Structure formats: structure tokens, C-alpha cells
Amino acid sequence: MNTPVALITGASRGLGRALAAGLAREGFALITDARNAAALVEAAAPLRAAGGDVTAISGDITDPAHRAALLAAAQTAGRLDLLVNNAGTLGASPLPALADYPPADLRTAFEANVIAPIALIQLMLPLLRASGGGVLNITSDAAREAYAGWGGYGAAKAALEQASNVLAAEEIALRVWWADPGDLRTDMHQQAFPGQDISDRPRPESVVPAFVRLISQRLPSGRYRAAELMPAARG
């Protein structure tokens, strides 16, 4: 019961998988989620082989039944110290101008990037309050900057940021962070630039020390950029 527990969504690849490995090294027991069951099992295998405690539950975070299954896993664990809302979707790809953005794809982007994370937070709040834990919502510079083609994703992440801001004001006993990892070499980033070479982007593992610092030092609630946290993490 003294082992901290973290729930990480979208943990089968990219930043979510890298964060799961980093938090396992920090001594967290993990509850992980992703839509692709085989990829989720594959991601969990090396963590378990290294002695990590990983409960992997596949499903779609927009599905209320799947969110309920994640809550049941946290209740079985007996505590929850950290919720990482990493799962999301780019939306329409290739990225369209807002004038051409299909409303159905826009609804999908908001459902995955805003509604589902808030709904999961609502479910997990009693456990998080009991532990004095934290919520980490993964955001993007597209939430603040006007990039052509990024209107759907950026608007959804901007909504998530404001929801995070309000949650931090309401849940003062918790830590609520919304953090921009920067451009990374991930499948989602590749979807944003189909056919382009993105090998110059850093790997997701490169920013894990920044997030570990944020979590382990329990920095104040607020918005962070991984790049701003990295120098201190190295030092």
C-alpha cells in the first residue's frame, strides 16, 4: 500500500510508453491503457521483466465502460497518486484548414482530447484526493500558437489547458499540471506531416527526465514546457 500508483493513458507507444518506463524506474506501480491490446501488452512486457508492477487494460478512453474498468483497477490497487492524461488524437489528417475541417472529425478530436480526460479525472478524483496526488495533462504549443492546419487539435488542447487551469483552482490540495513535451518523433507527429522525414525530432524518451522532475519534486500546479525543465533535470 505504500507503493505509489500511476495511471497512464495512451501508454503503448510514444510519450506514454516512455513515461510509463520512466515512472516504473521511479518506483511507481502502473495502470496503463491503450486502444491496441497487442501493443499495450508488448509495451508492458519489459517493465514486468524488470520487476515492475503493471496492470495493462486495453480500450478506448472515450468509452465510459473502459473508463470504469480503469477506475476498478485503481480501486483494486487501493490508491492512485498520479493520473497522466496522455491519450488523444490528432483529428483529421492531413491537417485541413478550419474552413474545410469536417465537423465529425472535430467532434472526435474534442471527445478524445477534452471530454474523455475530464471524465476520467472526475472518476479518479476521490482516490487522488485521498492520496494528495496529481494530474498531468499532456498538451501542445498548438494550444497557444496559431499554426495553419492545427485549428482542430489546437482548439481541443486549448480547451484542455483551460479545464486544467480551473481544476487547479478548484482542487488546491492536488497538483494539476498541463505540460507541453515539444515536437517529438511519434506516430501522431508523423500523421501531422505525412510523407515527411521527422527523424530530426527528439525521441520521446529524451523528455522523460523533465516529467520525472515535475512529478517527483511536486512542482506547483501550472503550465510547463519540457524544454524548460530539462536543464535542472540534467543538473
Count CB neighbours of 72 within 10 A.
12
For 85, counting Cβ atoms within 10 Å of its Cβ (0-12 exposed, 13-18 middle, 19+ buried), the class is buried
CA–CA distance, 35 with 57 (Å, rounded to integer): 9
Residue numbers annotated as active site: 153
Three-state SS across 46-98?
Answer: HHHHCCCCEEEEECCCCCHHHHHHHHHHHHHHCCCCEEEECCCCCCCCCCCCH
CA–CA distance, 44 with 24 (Å, rounded to integer): 10
C-alpha cell at 187: 506516430
What are the contacts of 222-231 at 24+ separation with CB within 8 A?
222/168, 222/177, 222/178, 223/139, 223/161, 223/164, 223/165, 223/177, 223/178, 223/179, 223/180, 224/177, 224/178, 224/179, 224/180, 225/141, 225/179, 225/180, 225/182, 226/179, 226/180, 226/181, 226/182, 227/182
